[in-house]
Amino acid sequence: MSTSTTRPALSAFWHDLPREGKLMLSVIAFEFIGTGLVLPFWVVYLHEMRGYSLDVVGVLLAVMAAAGVVVAAPGGMLIDRVGPRIAMIGVILFTALGQVVVAFTSTLPGTTIGIALIGVGFGMGWPTAQALVASIVPSPIRARYFGVNFTLLNLGIGIGGIIGGLVVDVDSLASFQAMYVADAFSYVPSLLILLIPLRHVGGPVPSPDGVEDGEKPSYLKILRAPAMGTMTTLMFVSGFVGYSQLNAGMPAYARAIGEVSTRGLGFAFAANTFVIVLLQLVVLQRIEGRRRTRVIAVMSALWAGSWLLLAASGIAPGTVAATLFVAACASVFALGETLLQPTMPVILNDLAPDHLRGRYNALTAGAFQSAAILGPIVAGLLIGNGLHLEFIGLLVVGCGLTAWLSVVRLELQLDDVANGVARAPAPSEQHQT
């Protein structure tokens, strides 16, 4: 086993990437253009177009995250039973159907059903996609795959957000409906790839010799597997201080404390996307061969710094400086995001046995989705009750806990391969032997 820390060029990654992996990457940007069309406008659509109160809108969006938590455990078992390819086809159909229902229903029960369908798709989408990638992409190049995938994902969201901002008209319900239908349509290329050229991959993996299907470990046993308890906790804590606050806490703080305009918030999110698209591939090469646990600790420090920048937006509320501090917060947070994607998902899938990959990914996805529910609630309670500095303090402490879990706990539980400082031969190296 090689322990070399040389950093091959991205051209080597593309050369080593199987044809199936190239096909999956080819549709990511297009698929997430659809996501970007609707992502910034959920509250506007539900509140201003459909007439639901903000309280009801909050509950509806919580339903989306809650549906993801509910399906996580059975979804992981389903992935292992039918294989990630079939499960991903189901994810696409559920999500697309939910988008169409949300576009055309005008009743609260109908909207709730549509949002729940989307939540089921989102909840199963992450573990299913990771299991599918791990079944196709060899371990030595998975970190680069997840990083390139994240770049294309954000590029698509950014393009979609720009298009949505130009197309949406608050005086036209049809303009919103067109965006939700377009989001549903954006999944068609992925569906066709799964149905035709990838029909031979991503099937169920038989249990190893001597292990009967009925002996597959429960989620409790998986939690007791080496490093998985720490990984699950790490996923929850990082989700709480990370994405759940970027999507809920940061806008709430910026509006209530920094008095930043909605246009200023849009600028901040654009800066976030720009930093990821610009720097992700550069970061990938810089962290190659370094301990993934230490990279996660650096990510935690960057996120702590981003929340301190958010706090600074309250020094001069309603000014250009406040807007710039919020944009700086989103940009520094984005730099941390470029360290997240090539580390945590890769560690998890290096730990997971092939026949249990769905369960391993679903367990951590459930933890992350739980944080997505709790994070906005805590942010709303603290910021809404004037405890905004306590809110920032909580996030900074949480970032410290993330670093501690990674370096003090997880690092001792991982072998060198899972931690990124040793690697199996890449496909091109195997061909040469």
Element (DSSP H or E) covering residue 390: helix 388-404
Three-state secondary structure of 39-77: HHHHHHHHHHHCCCCHHHHHHHHHHHHHHHHHHHHHHHH
Domain architecture of the chain: domains with CATH:
17-203 (1.20.1250.20), 218-433 (1.20.1250.20)
pLDDT of residue 210: 54
DSSP-derived 3-state class of residue 31: helix
Q: What is the pLDDT along the chain (433 residues), one digit of tens a residue?
A: 344 445 556 677 888 899 999 999 999 999 999 998 888 788 778 888 898 887 788 788 888 888 988 998 999 999 999 999 999 999 999 999 999 999 999 999 999 999 999 999 988 998 999 999 999 999 888 989 999 999 999 999 888 888 887 888 878 899 999 999 999 999 999 999 999 999 999 888 887 755 555 556 788 899 988 899 999 999 999 999 999 898 888 888 998 899 988 778 888 888 999 999 999 989 998 998 899 999 999 999 999 999 999 999 999 999 999 999 999 999 999 999 999 989 999 999 999 998 899 999 999 999 998 998 888 888 888 988 899 999 999 999 999 999 999 999 999 999 999 998 876 555 445 444 4
Return the closest-CA partner of residue 254 out of 189, 202, 328, 342.
Answer: 328
pLDDT of residue 174: 93
pLDDT in tens, 29-44: 999 999 988 887 887 7
Return the closest-CA partner of residue 417 out of 349, 331, 328.
Answer: 349
The end-to-end CA distance of the chain, in Å, is 13
Each residue of 104-122: b (16+ CB within 10 Å) or e? ebeeeeebbbbbbbbbbbb
- Residues 6+ away with beta carbon under 8 Å from 224: none
pLDDT of residue 63: 87
Number of C-beta neighbours around residue 15 at 10 A? 13
Strand partners, 2: 423
pLDDT in tens, 169-220: 878 899 999 999 999 999 999 999 999 999 999 888 887 755 555 556 788 8
pTM attached to this predicted model: 0.85
Tokens, residue 63: 């339903």
DSSP-derived 3-state class of residue 259: coil
Query: What is the spatial distance between Cα 363 and Cα 231, in angstroms, rounded to a whole number?
Result: 10
DSSP-derived 3-state class of residue 295: helix
CA atoms within 13 A on the CB side of 163: 22
Each residue of 182-194: b (16+ CB within 10 Å) or e? bbbebbeebbebb
Return the closest-CA partner of residue 168 out of 37, 355, 269.
Answer: 37
Q: How far out from the chain centre does Cα 294 lie?
A: 20
